[in-house]
């Protein structure tokens, strides 16, 4: 995380916004629906329009049944619609993946991966930040054996040639574009990137919380209590990593500071790869990501995801270990006070804490920051009632809120 603001400076904007929202609570609902109409009428560049067709085209996969939209469903905040920890791809849709599907919303402002002045890993796409751009990222699903599983780039382009939009592809990228599969594949990736960047569907900023920040509506009492707990450095401290206030330049909060952290999420035995006791997904230090394998201090760190639309998610964390927010929040605040709730217990009665990390890396787990800076016997940072309030607040982060 970045250094947290002091309590006082953190609360000023909230109080100010609260006043604003009380002042203007009457006129809000019309504006919000105008905004949604604007979004659906917006026109995409020809490149992005091609990107949309490609994104939704199942014919570009080995199975003929899988597109980007199969896992990143536009009607489900561009995330998975089923409750599986990992999805199945390949020619017969029977090859298991390794990680839960992230939402593709609000990624347009993500920078390429870098180390900040303080040495903090920041930015990049996927759970381990290894792809520098949306275009680079888009290559893998086409070719990964557990996803769309094409043999190579040329196979993708051969499939594309028989699609109805092949002529539009030529019109946009040149009549000879298909003479070189490598070039044509690059244009496919570029189109997908432009679609995700341009279509406001990917970043509508029309949640209840956005309308609250804009002073158009107010939040319920429970949502307000949840927001305060979310921001309070002594309680949830969530905003320390999941940024919740507008930036100095007035831009809307993304609910991520784009950094990485090691939460010690329990191993998820629902992922077939875990049948191998030596398999560990260590995020920044590998095995998917290769360039930081010598930085053992980073082993087990995963990207802080946006919490926008989090209440619509079917599974949580990089390994999809939890399937509801109550458990996620319970894990955050009772991981160390009641570890037996979350981790397996060995025959000798010992709780196998941080069991998704080789023991050499257990000390990488963040045990210093609120809310997971506790010990057995201490009280949890949030009570069960307070967790319910935070869940209410998280529900205000869903896109497409219409005031009643």
Minimum CB distance to ligand HEC, residue 339 (Å): 17
Minimum CB distance to ligand HEC, residue 377 (Å): 20
Binding stretches for ligand HEC (CB under 6 A)? 1, 66, 68, 70-72, 87, 89, 97, 99, 101-102, 104, 107, 125-128, 134, 137-138, 141-142, 147-148, 192, 236-238, 240-242, 261, 263, 265, 288, 302, 304-305, 307, 310, 313, 316-318, 325, 328-329, 332, 366, 369, 371, 390
Minimum CB distance to ligand HEC, residue 34 (Å): 29
Q: What is the DSSP secondary structure assignment for residue 101, as one 8-state letter? A: P
Minimum CB distance to ligand HEC, residue 332 (Å): 5
Closest CB to ligand HEC among 204 and 305?
Answer: 305
- Half-sphere exposure for 12 (CA within 13 Å, toward CB): 4
Minimum CB distance to ligand HEC, residue 19 (Å): 26
Q: How far is CA 143 from CA 13, 25, 66, 107, in A?
A: 46, 50, 12, 22
Closest CB to ligand HEC among 286 and 371?
Answer: 371
Minimum CB distance to ligand HEC, residue 248 (Å): 21
Q: What is the token pair recorded at 170?
A: 């030529």
Closest CB to ligand HEC among 17 and 188?
Answer: 188
Are 260 and 298 in contact, with CB atoms under 8 Å apart?
yes
Minimum CB distance to ligand HEC, residue 372 (Å): 8
- Please tell me the chain's helix, strand, coil percentages from 3-state DSSP, rounded to the nearest 5: 40, 5, 55
Closest CB to ligand HEC among 32 and 194?
Answer: 194
d(CA 134, CA 97): 20
Closest CB to ligand HEC among 169 and 215?
Answer: 169
Closest CB to ligand HEC among 76 and 127?
Answer: 127
Burial class (CB in 10 A: 0-12, 13-18, 19+), 24: middle
* Residue from 15, 54, 64 nearest 160 by CA: 54
Residues 6+ away with beta carbon under 8 Å from 55:
67, 68, 69, 72, 192, 195
Minimum CB distance to ligand HEC, residue 365 (Å): 11
Evaluate the omega torsion of the peptide bond into residue 371 and state whether it is cis, within 30 degrees of 0.
yes
Closest CB to ligand HEC among 130 and 216?
Answer: 130
Q: What is the DSSP string of 306-370?
A: --TTGGG-SSBTTTT-BSSHHHHHHHHHHTTT-GGGTS-B-TTS-B-TTTTS-GGGGGGS--SST
Cα-to-chain-centroid distance, residue 100:
10
Closest CB to ligand HEC among 205 and 230?
Answer: 230
């Amino acid at each position: 995380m970045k250094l947290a603001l002091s309590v006082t400076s953190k609360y000023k904007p909230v109080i100010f916004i609260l006043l604003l929202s009380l002042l203007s609570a009457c006129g809000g609902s019309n504006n919000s629906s105008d905004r949604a109409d604007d979004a659906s009428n917006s026109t995409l560049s020809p490149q992005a329009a091609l990107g949309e067709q490609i994104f939704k085209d199942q014919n570009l996969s080995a199975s003929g049944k899988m597109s980007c939209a199969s896992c990143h469903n536009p009607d489900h905040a561009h995330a998975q619609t089923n409750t599986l920890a990992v999805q199945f791809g390949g020619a017969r849709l029977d090859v298991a993946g390794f990680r839960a599907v992230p939402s593709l919303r609000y990624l347009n402002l993500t920078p390429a991966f870098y180390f900040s002045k303080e040495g903090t890993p920041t930015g990049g796409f996927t759970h381990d930040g290894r792809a520098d751009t949306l275009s680079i990222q888009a290559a893998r699903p086409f070719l990964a054996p557990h996803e769309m599983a094409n043999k190579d780039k040329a196979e993708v382009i051969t499939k594309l040639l028989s699609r109805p939009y092949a002529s539009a592809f030529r019109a946009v990228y040149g009549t000879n574009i298909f003479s070189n599969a490598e070039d044509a594949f690059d244009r496919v990736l570029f189109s997908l990137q432009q679609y995700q960047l341009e279509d406001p569907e990917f970043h509508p900023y029309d949640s209840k919380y956005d309308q609250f920040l804009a002073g158009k509506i107010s939040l319920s009492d429970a949502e307000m209590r949840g927001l305060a707990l979310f921001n309070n450095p002594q309680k949830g401290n969530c905003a320390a990593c999941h940024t919740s206030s507008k930036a100095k330049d007035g831009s809307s909060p993304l609910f991520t500071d784009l950094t990485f952290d090691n939460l010690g999420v329990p191993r998820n035995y629902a992922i077939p790869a875990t049948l191998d006791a030596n398999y560990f997904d260590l995020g920044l230090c590998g095995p998917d990501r290769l360039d930081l394998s010598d930085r053992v201090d980073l082993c087990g760190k995963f990207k802080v995801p946006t919490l926008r639309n989090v209440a619509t998610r079917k599974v949580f964390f990089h390994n999809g270990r939890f399937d509801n927010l109550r458990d996620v929040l319970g894990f955050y605040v009772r991981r160390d006070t009641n570890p037996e709730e979350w981790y397996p217990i060995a025959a000798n009665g010992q709780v196998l804490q941080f069991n998704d990390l080789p023991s050499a890396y257990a000390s990488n787990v963040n045990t210093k920051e609120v809310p997971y800076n506790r010990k057995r016997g201490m009280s949890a940072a949030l009570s069960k009632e307070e967790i319910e309030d935070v869940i209410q607040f998280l529900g205000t982060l869903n896109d497409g809120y219409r005031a009643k």
